[in-house]
């Protein structure tokens, strides 16, 4: 049992001094192997953003699919043409009003120039 006494008296103090250091290094290494809570929360928010982006993309794709299902019917084309015709009529009316204003201003300027030259 002398060898047991030798182990207890010589090796045991060395083991008790080195073991906490080894366990501490092991715990630090394990801590570095797992994500932190802030990393996890950031990942959750990123996944949520990606899910909402995917929903928007899916909605856009559905709209494109509906738009490209077929060419417009004759009725749809006539409706679009009538709306364009009404818009063109409004533009022409505005154009005529502006033309009248410009003509009036031009007449005023000519009158002023004639009176200024005499």
Q: Give the per-residue pLDDT at 51.
A: 93
CA distance 12 to 15: 5
Instruction: Domain ranges for the chain, please list them.
Output: 1-30, 85-118
Structure-token pair, residue 9: 């008296």
Contacts of 96 (CB under 8 A, 6+ apart): none
Query: Along the chain (118 residues), what's the average pLDDT of each consecutive run of 10 residues?
Result: 79 87 93 87 92 94 84 86 94 95 93 82
CA dihedral (63, 64, 69, 73) positive or negative: positive
CA distance 81 to 34: 64
């Amino acid at each position: 049992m002398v060898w047991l006494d030798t182990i207890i008296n010589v090796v045991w103090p060395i083991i008790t001094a080195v073991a906490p250091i080894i366990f501490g290094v092991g715990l630090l290494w394990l801590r570095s192997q797992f994500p932190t809570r802030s990393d996890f929360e950031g990942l959750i928010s990123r996944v949520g953003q990606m899910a909402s982006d995917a929903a928007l993309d899916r909605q856009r794709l559905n709209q494109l699919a509906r738009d490209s299902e077929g060419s417009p019917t004759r009725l749809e084309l006539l409706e679009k043409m009538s709306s364009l015709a009404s818009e063109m009529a409004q533009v022409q009316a505005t154009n005529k009003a502006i033309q009248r204003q410009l003509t009036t201003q031009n007449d005023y300027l000519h009158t002023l120039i004639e009176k200024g030259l005499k």
